């Protein structure tokens, strides 16, 4: 079960990043091109946010129930903090990803509330862009 969830989490990462980069490019074009916010722009935000939430859920299942790495780290947290790999999975990865999820949801909510199309694109681009930077820092690139 652990392996299946880990593969799902890894696969979702690429779908999520593809969705995020595509959405960011579209929103940047909309922002700097002074375009109108269309139904497809809203749909792109919904798809990206939904993928982010699914990724969060699979990550939480791994973290709290299935991962032998976090089980080991949480069994002796003091020792885990001295080991860079254990600390990364036990603290750094989850903390940064939670911040990224929060930024995505703030950006989505604020862009929905914005009245001007320019503001919708600007707000979503800024929050999604910050989220991307945090996600790139939090991805365990050594496991690719």
Report how many domains make up the chain.
1
Q: DSSP labels for the chain?
A: -HHHHHHHHHHHHHHHHHHHHHHHHHHHHHHHTTPPP-HHHHHHHHHHHHHHHHHHHHHHHIIIII-HHHHHHHHTHHHHTTSHHHHIIIIIHHHHHHHHHHHHHHHHHHHHH--SHHHHHHHHHHHHHHHHHHHHHHS-GGG-
Per-residue model confidence (pLDDT) at position 141:
87
Alpha carbon distances (Å) from 69 to 3, 30, 34, 56, 84: 12, 42, 47, 17, 12
Per-residue model confidence (pLDDT) at position 83:
93
The token pair at 62 is: 């791994």
pLDDT tens digits for range 13-34: 999 999 999 999 999 999 999 9
**Could you list the residue range(s) of the whole structural domain that residue 59 is in?**
2-143
pLDDT grade for 144, boundaries at 50, 70 and 90: low
CB 19 within 8 A of CB 51: yes
The token pair at 75 is: 């069994």
pLDDT tens digits for range 53-72: 999 999 999 999 999 999 99
pLDDT grade for 136, boundaries at 50, 70 and 90: very high
pLDDT tens digits for range 76-121: 999 999 999 999 999 999 999 999 999 999 999 999 999 999 999 9
Instruction: State the Cα–Cα distance between residues 103 and 56, nearest whole angstrom.
Output: 13
pLDDT, averaged across the chain: 96
pLDDT grade for 9, boundaries at 50, 70 and 90: very high
The phi-psi region of residue 78 (left if phi > 0; otherwise alpha if psi is between -120 and 50; otherwise beta) is alpha
Global pTM reads 0.94
pLDDT grade for 45, boundaries at 50, 70 and 90: very high
């Amino acid at each position: 079960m652990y392996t299946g969830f880990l593969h799902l989490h890894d696969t979702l990462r690429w779908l999520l990043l593809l969705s995020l980069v595509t959405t960011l490019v579209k929103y940047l074009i909309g922002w700097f091109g002074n375009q109108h916010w269309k139904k497809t722009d809203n749909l792109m935000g919904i798809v990206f946010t939904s993928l982010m939430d699914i990724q969060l859920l699979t990550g939480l299942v791994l973290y709290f129930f299935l991962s032998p790495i976090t089980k080991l780290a949480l069994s002796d947290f003091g020792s885990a903090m001295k080991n860079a790999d254990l600390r990364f999975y036990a603290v750094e990865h989850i903390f940064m990803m939670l911040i990224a999820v929060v930024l995505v949801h703030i950006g989505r909510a604020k862009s929905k509330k914005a009245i001007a199309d320019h503001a919708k694109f600007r707000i979503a681009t800024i929050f999604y862009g910050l989220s991307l930077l945090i996600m790139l820092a939090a991805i365990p690139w050594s496991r690719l």
